[in-house]
Amino acid sequence: MNFKKFALLILTMVVISGFNAKPVSASANDDVIATQEDNAVSIDTADGGKDSEDVTTDGDNTAVATPAPSNSKPAKTPAPKSTPKARVAAKETAKPAAKSTPKKSYSKGDLRLMASIINCEAGAEGFQGKLAVGIVVMNRVASKDFPNTVKKVIYEKGQFSPVRNGMLSKKLKQYDAGKTKSSQWKSCISAAKKVLSGQRTIVYKGKTKSLKGYHFFSVVLPGARIKLGGHRFK
């Protein structure tokens, strides 16, 4: 074989081997990188990947998502703030209700007698004088030195002149007949209700004065401590 034939044979073999070789892709390295990236895909959330999930592939390239552990704690609901008004209202609510002073009860018969004796003794005098007469009657009821009821005190022998001269009897008839529309009668009934309910003070010379311990009144009374209208009291 000469040189020319040998060279032609070599050239023919090279050409034939070139047709049988598989073309090499210029992006082969890219495919390898893409395959590696597909094996670990990170899904980032809108807040910068804090709640991301890791995606891996199993043997048949099926994606399996593994939830990322959450570090966030459940939000605590803040307690409502107490305003100054709410605290004041709470304190007021917590305070025990004030005890009301019970009024002393009295019978219709006591009111009838008290209003009538006041009208007899101080009907023409001011309201404080009317109160003073009624207070003396009630002080006697409370004292051990006198009878213990309004009726017994008023009808005690020798104590009230209107009982002896018949004036009290006339006033009682007016009361029973309902002839109590005059301002004098209304004032006497009002004073009687107050003293029967427990009032023991009057306004004397512009000041509140207690008449506890006062058991007597008269036009002329030795040792009198105060004077109201036509009567002196002690």
Q: What is the pLDDT of residues 82-120, one digit of tens each?
A: 566 556 555 555 555 554 545 678 999 999 999 999 999
pLDDT at 163 over 90: yes
Other CB atoms closer than 10 Å to residue 48's CB: what's the count? Answer: 8
pLDDT of residue 162: 97
26 vs 146, higher pLDDT: 146
Query: What's the average model confidence in pLDDT over 176-195?
Result: 98
Calpha distance 188→122 (Å, rounded): 8
Instruction: Please state the rounded mean pLDDT for residues 76-83.
Output: 59
Tokens of 191: 């004073």
With cut-offs at 50, 70 and 90, classify the pLDDT of residue 76.
Answer: low
Dihedral sign of CA atoms 156, 162, 166, 172 in order: negative
Residue in the block written with tokens 């309902």: 178
